[in-house]
Amino acid sequence: MGILDPYKGFGVTFSTMFKKPTTEQYPEYKKETAPRFHGRHQLNRHPDGLEKCVGCELCAWACPADAIYVEGADNTDEERYSPGERYGRVYQINYLRCILCGLCIEACPTRALTMSNEYELADDSREDLIFTKEQLLAPLREGMQQPPHPMFLGESETDYYTRDPEAPLPWQVGSEAQAGGGTAADEASAHGAGSERAR
Ligand code: SF4
Ligand code: SF4
């Protein structure tokens, strides 16, 4: 150590005293994340509200931290939660284990599972950090209806999956007809639109 080194050290301290603080004022000020930041997961829905998850468990198998638990079950004509044969009856992600690596969303064949930018996942309760399906499911948007209900976007799975994404939804066609003096009320009630439109 040279004779001047302590003074150089104090020089760094002294010059830093006049710099703008870099402290993040969290949680009062929340910094915006990068658009592709890996945060809390979300289970997505089709435009009629049915769930995209088909309970295949591929996400659970892909997870290196064993953080996902899935139990699938069969849909029936009377009780349908997804357009496939099966749906995810139980779905849990344990955020005590999750390392937010994103391998699960890569493994998902239906794009049911994606990740949001939400990063506030700390808690002082182990139970509260095991997120259930109800917590992970995307909110119902305009035109969606809470499952179980029939497939509103087509009679068959082919119709359902190959429909033009730009095409108006059945209940939108109904409201257009109403605007032109048609039978919108019939359409809306037939498809259940408008009964629950919570976000
Ligand atoms: S992000 Fe990674 S660790 Fe977290 S649940 Fe998905 S695969 Fe598992
Ligand atoms: S989220 Fe995707 S990979 Fe996981 S069970 Fe559902 S459909 Fe399968």
Peptide bond into 21 cis (omega under 30): no
Q: What's the CATH class of domain 37-151?
A: alpha beta
pLDDT band at 178 (very low <50, low <70, confident <90, very high): low
Choose the residue to mutate in 100, 105, 119, 121 for probing ligand 1, maximizing ligand atoms within 8 Å of C-beta. Answer: 100
Domain boundaries, the chain: 37-151
Strands 86-94 and 130-131: antiparallel
What is the pLDDT at residue 147?
A: 97
Taking the centre of ligand 2 as the mean of its atom positions, its distance from the CA of residue 73, in whole angstroms, is: 13
For the residues 8-26, what does the mean pLDDT come to?
88
pLDDT digits (tens, 9 = 90+) for 150-162: 998 877 778 888 8
**Of the bound ligands, which one is closest to the alpha carbon of residue 58?**
2
Q: What is the pTM of this model?
A: 0.77
